[in-house]
Amino acid sequence: MVPVSLCHHHYHHHGGSCHPATLPFLRMCRIPELQVQSSAFRTSTIMPLLVPRWLCWWRAACTRRAFVQQRMWEGATRISGLGGPAGALGTSPLVRRGSSSASSGAPGVRLTRDRYPVQRLPFSVVSEDDLAALERIIPGRVITDPEELEAPNVDWLRTVRGSSKVLLRPRTSQEVAQILRYCHERNLAVNPQGGNTGLVGGSTPVFDEIVLSTALMSQVLSFHDVSGVLVCQAGCVLEELSRYVEERGFVMPLDLGAKGSCHIGGNVATNAGGLRFLRYGSLRGTVLGLEVVLADGTLLNCLTSLRKDNTGYDLKQLFIGSEGTLGVITAVSILCPPKPSAVNVAFLGCPGFAEVLQTFSTGRRLLGEILSAFEFMDAECLQLVGRHLHLTSPVQESPFYVLIETSGSGADHDAEKLSSFLEQVQDSGLVTDGTLATDQRRIQALWALRERISEALSHDGYVYKYDLSLPLDRLYDLVDDLRARLGPSAKHVVGYGHLGDGNLHLNVTAEAFCESLLGALEPYVYEWTARQRGSVSAEHGLGFKKRDVLGYSKPPEALRLMQQLKALLDPKGILNPYKMLPTRA
């Protein structure tokens, strides 16, 4: 099979930014699709069969706001992923999430080693000889230009900053293996990096670790159009893969806000959850095989494409969710479900969180197997999305909103199910306003309200992010609790997330990073979560910033075994050091 290189030309409005170091040609791209998208807001279609009278399509207000929305879309494309507390780069065209600090010297982002109490481990320092040796392995792809190294040293949230002096850009697994063999021998620390869209400081160096980027490993190796099994290199961008498989009648089993930048290898290394988890489950089920390079350069080929394979321990599971600390994922085999022929999205306003929960129960019952997403957000989320990104709410202001997606194989059947669901939640007062979209552009527009909350928050100041799993009935209590606890010391306290998975994204913003606010939040949030037997990291992982809170969700015996696994697979500790596992006592 001939490997197919994914084209990076297409653009979507989702908070993405093209990595300038890796895709400089994108700066010249035109964006015709976006103009189409913006105009889509002006027209509206009625589906009388489906839509109860109270559900009006893109209500009158939308027309009036069309101009604003057009600006919004263009603005979103040009500056998405930018801003944050320190210096928005509004004039830089077409940079994607993951590269916000690309050309500015990352002013205002303190070095991680200064902000946090962390000590460099006794790894070697990269020498001129090392650079020459690495250059022999990947000629012309050993980057030492300080300007090019700014982006990979800073995270998307602009909260951590390393001081790596070397960026490596291998194209093949064999090159990765040679690089790691060399680094292992020389005791050089390595920071594997995909799209650098992580939210816990897991994808950027802490000190001077060598950055090993998967950006040039972006080939589709095979796709089987009966089984839907996709095999590709680790550096393929999720959105590109989505487009690739959708053209062939399938969808990727995961989707997330950072899709325009994140790499599939990084998704797997983080065990990303995202927006389709409710329907297609965890990557632990959908990833069929992995190719991984171990710390010592051993190439471990478990790139099977079989749905069932019980031959020995399932080694790939070790690397899924291990955040690059046990091996570097170089290729992924993943099962893509058939593309649903009918997709509907409803965006509804609810008077309270109890009603959100009841809407969820009703949806699970009446929508059954076609329910593919159930997201919620509070009023402040939508206010922030409006204020910072100029997205307008399609429904009346409400204390809570839910976004419900259905995906099915029969449009009429799905419409009937959805209609009966909507009637029931309206009649019982669970939902006070709502809108429904069936065509792809409106669906994307509704999804943007949810997907771009994280981006809107980053425009609001410094963001304290918590990604928690909690019992459904207590899911929002912590947000209320924190609003009362923090009072005016926080700018905003918001809650949103994947309700269907019991996953709350709790975010607190402030004008700037502030130790005393941090002290009010931590360990309070973690202790609260532990009391509910929740998880202090549902889907973002632990990275650098959360590694010391692991103990809130796992017992000491588990921590010990994790340390033992790390020691077994990476005895010198060169892979993504200072990440995931707690500081040793």
Burial class (CB in 10 A: 0-12, 13-18, 19+), 3: exposed
Q: Which is nearer to a second copy, 83 or 289 (CB)?
A: 289
Alpha-carbon span 524 to 505, nearest angstrom:
16
In the structure encoding, which two tokens stand for residue 149, read together?
């190294």
What order do you get walking across the sheet with 299-302 strand by strand? 4-5, 219-223, 229-233, 328-335, 287-293, 299-302
Looking at residue 29, its amino acid is C
Cis bond before residue 351 (omega within 30° of 0): no
The single residue among 515, 555, 584, 585 that binds a second copy, judged by CB under 8 A, is 555
Q: Give the x/- contact pattern for a second copy in 283-312, rule: CB under 8 A.
A: -xxx-------x---xxxxx-xxxxxxxxx
Contacts to a second copy from residues 519-538, by CB under 8 A: 533-538
Binding flag, residue 315, a second copy (CB under 8 A): yes
The single residue among 345, 381, 521, 562 that binds a second copy, judged by CB under 8 A, is 562
Alpha-carbon span 307 to 334, nearest angstrom:
10
Binding flag, residue 557, a second copy (CB under 8 A): yes
What are the distances in angstroms from CA 191 to CA 21, 206, 389, 428? Answer: 17, 9, 33, 53
Contacts to a second copy from residues 355-374, by CB under 8 A: 361, 364-370
The answer to whether 288 and 229 have CB atoms below 8 angstroms apart is yes
Contacts to a second copy from residues 411-470, by CB under 8 A: 413, 416-417, 469
Backbone φ, ψ for residue 320 (5° rounding): -65, 120
Tell me how far, at minimum, the Cβ of 539 lies from a second copy, in Å.
5
The answer to whether 256 and 275 have CB atoms below 8 angstroms apart is yes
Q: Which is nearer to a second copy, 478 or 581 (CB)?
A: 581
Query: For the chain, how many residues are written?
Result: 585
The single residue among 144, 172, 317, 383 that binds a second copy, judged by CB under 8 A, is 317
Q: Which is nearer to a second copy, 145 or 416 (CB)?
A: 416
Binding flag, residue 581, a second copy (CB under 8 A): yes
Piece in contact with a second copy (CB under 8 A), picked from 11-19, 130-138, 210-218, 405-413? 405-413
- Count the Cβ atoms, other than its own, within 10 Å of residue 212: 25
The single residue among 3, 52, 410, 429 that binds a second copy, judged by CB under 8 A, is 410
Alpha-carbon span 264 to 233, nearest angstrom:
8
In the structure encoding, which two tokens stand for residue 529, read together?
């979560």
Q: Which residue bears the tokens 């309700």?
A: 499
Binding flag, residue 127, a second copy (CB under 8 A): no
Q: Which is nearer to a second copy, 125 or 568 (CB)?
A: 568
Binding flag, residue 64, a second copy (CB under 8 A): no
Tell me how far, at minimum, the Cβ of 275 lies from a second copy, in Å.
13
Contacts to a second copy from residues 497-516, by CB under 8 A: 498, 501-503
Alpha-carbon span 394 to 308, nearest angstrom:
44
Alpha-carbon span 505 to 491, nearest angstrom:
16
225 alpha-carbon distance from chain centroid: 27
Q: Which is nearer to a second copy, 84 or 543 (CB)?
A: 543
Binding flag, residue 474, a second copy (CB under 8 A): no
Tell me how far, at minimum, the Cβ of 58 lies from a second copy, in Å.
28
Alpha-carbon span 148 to 145, nearest angstrom:
5
Binding flag, residue 572, a second copy (CB under 8 A): no
Contacts to a second copy from residues 76-105, by CB under 8 A: none
Q: Which is nearer to a second copy, 147 or 314 (CB)?
A: 314
Q: Which is nearer to a second copy, 396 or 420 (CB)?
A: 420
Tell me how far, at minimum, the Cβ of 290 lies from a second copy, in Å.
11
Helix (H) or strand (E) run with residue 149 in it: helix 146-153
Q: How many binding residues for a second copy (CB under 8 A)? A: 87
Piece in contact with a second copy (CB under 8 A), picked from 140-148, 160-168, 239-247, 280-288? 280-288
Q: Which is nearer to a second copy, 72 or 549 (CB)?
A: 549
Alpha-carbon span 329 to 444, nearest angstrom:
31
Tell me how far, at minimum, the Cβ of 358 lies from a second copy, in Å.
11
What are the residues facing 571 on neighbouring strands?
Answer: none
In the structure encoding, which two tokens stand for residue 484, read together?
């009362």
Q: Which is nearer to a second copy, 9 or 284 (CB)?
A: 284
Q: Which is nearer to a second copy, 101 or 196 (CB)?
A: 196
What are the residues facing 95 on neighbouring strands?
Answer: 18
Q: Report the largest interatomic distance among the alpha carbons of the chain, rounded to a whole angstrom.
A: 73
Q: Give the x/- contact pattern for a second copy in 240-279, rule: CB under 8 A.
A: ------------------------------xx-x---x--
